[in-house]
Amino acid sequence: MGMSKQDLARILKSIRALMLQPVVTEALVQVVDAMLIPSDDEETMSESGLKFQRPLLLEGSNSVCQSFWDSSYRHTTYSLAHNIFEGDLQCLLNQDMSSVQEDICAFLHKAEISRLTSELAEMEKLRRSLKEEEVEEKEKAWKEHEERYANEVATTNGVGFEVTLEQIRLLCHSADLSGMDTRKVVIDGNLVDG
């Protein structure tokens, strides 16, 4: 998979030769025309002349996946003039192939670390949201149980109070129980509204 220095130098010389060719104005007109986006002014707020469209297929691209550095990749004159600099060519010619491989591996490791870091952040965000949802569900369930138990206590208290009044009526027929209410409490021996 690695290329020798001679292969790399040959590729760079062919690229350099392509860079020296004059720019064809017809190709530039086609590139500019491909960058314009047809626009409906009623649907958009900006003027149609301000929009650009990325061309689907450029001169150098085809359906086959090729690396930018492959010798068979057909560079456009623009990309040769603006994407590859003389300093880049000299650096590539002067670098040892092992150092180029190390740089590529380091870049791939950085990209992998970046991807894993973003995945970790997404997982942490998801974990926090799930934990918050779980806490909300537990709080909701607790409030429902609390309300249900309060209703059960009130019902039990009312039933117990009625049973107590029935027992008093059975034991003491002459007692006046008309003032008795579950909402009243006894304070200092007096029956007071609570």
Contact of 177 with 169, CB cutoff 8 Å = yes
> Which is more confidently placed, 3 or 104?
104
Give the list of residues 6+ apart from residue 137 with CB closer than 8 angstroms, or none.
none
The span from the CA of 29 to the CA of 34, in Å, is 8
Q: Which of 91, 76, 67, 73 is nearest to 9 (CA)?
A: 91
Evaluate if pTM is beyond 0.85: no
Within a 10 A sphere around the Cβ of 97, how many other Cβ atoms?
Answer: 13
Handedness of CA 147, 152, 153, 158 (dihedral sign): positive
Tens digit of each residue's pLDDT (9 = 90 or more) over 80-94: 666 666 676 777 677
How confident is the model over 119-178, as pLDDT tens digits?
Answer: 999 999 999 999 999 999 999 999 999 999 999 998 898 899 889 888 988 888 888 887
Residues 6+ apart with CB under 8 A from 34: 53, 55
Q: pLDDT tens-digit profile of 34-86?
A: 555 555 555 555 555 555 554 444 444 444 555 556 666 666 666 666 666 66
HEC string for 47-102? CHHHCECCCCCCCCCCCCCCCCCCCCCCCCHHHHHHHCCHHHHHHHHHCCHHHHHH
pLDDT in the model for residue 63: 47
